Structure 1
Amino acid sequence: MGETGDGAASGDGRVRLTAWVRGRVQGVGFRWWTRARALELGLTGAATNLSDGRVEVVAEGPRDRCEELLSQLRGGATPGRVDAVVESWAQYRGSSTGFVER
């Protein structure tokens, strides 16, 4: 819930969103679901299981589409159960192609 940084977009409006999702989000198809939503939105990045049970979602693309993905992560229609999502915004890096599950 806390946005950190200024969320500055690149010159063309692209940003990098990192969202840490807490709840029952491992072993329930959450990363696959997130990947499908991100690809539908034209975003690049990754959804990664963390050792503490959270999933880290890194997505890059237009800010409005990253905000839509964030809204869907919080929206209640995800596999499993999302208890909380903490987000951080940063400048677009362009370091990813496609969207992968890790």
Structure 2
Amino acid sequence: MTHHNERRLRKTFATLVLLVACGMILMTLWGGTAAATAALLVLAVIKCRLVALDFMGLAQAPAGLRFGLLAWPAILALLALAKLAMGVTLSA
């Protein structure tokens, strides 16, 4: 591991810790509201991207592999948002 890569990994790790802290604060302040859940899903997709590209070292991987690894959490988050939207709509 070169010095440059180590510095990049440290920055990525600090970003991940910050995103986790933001999620914890978000849940503490706004609990289980629909907006907080949607924001947590967005944070989760961002964290998946950081882990897949930086920690797993897939930034230089073939485009199809990168697309698949990043599309999977995005699709799951969109499905969760659709379920959330249906629940909010039906309960109103």
Scaled to the shorter chain, the TM-score interval is 0.3 to 0.5
Question: Which protein is bigger by CA-based radius of gyration?
Answer: 2
Q: Greater helix share, 1 or 2?
A: 2
Normalised by the size of structure 2, how large is the TM-score? Answer: 0.32
Normalised by the size of structure 1, how large is the TM-score? Answer: 0.30
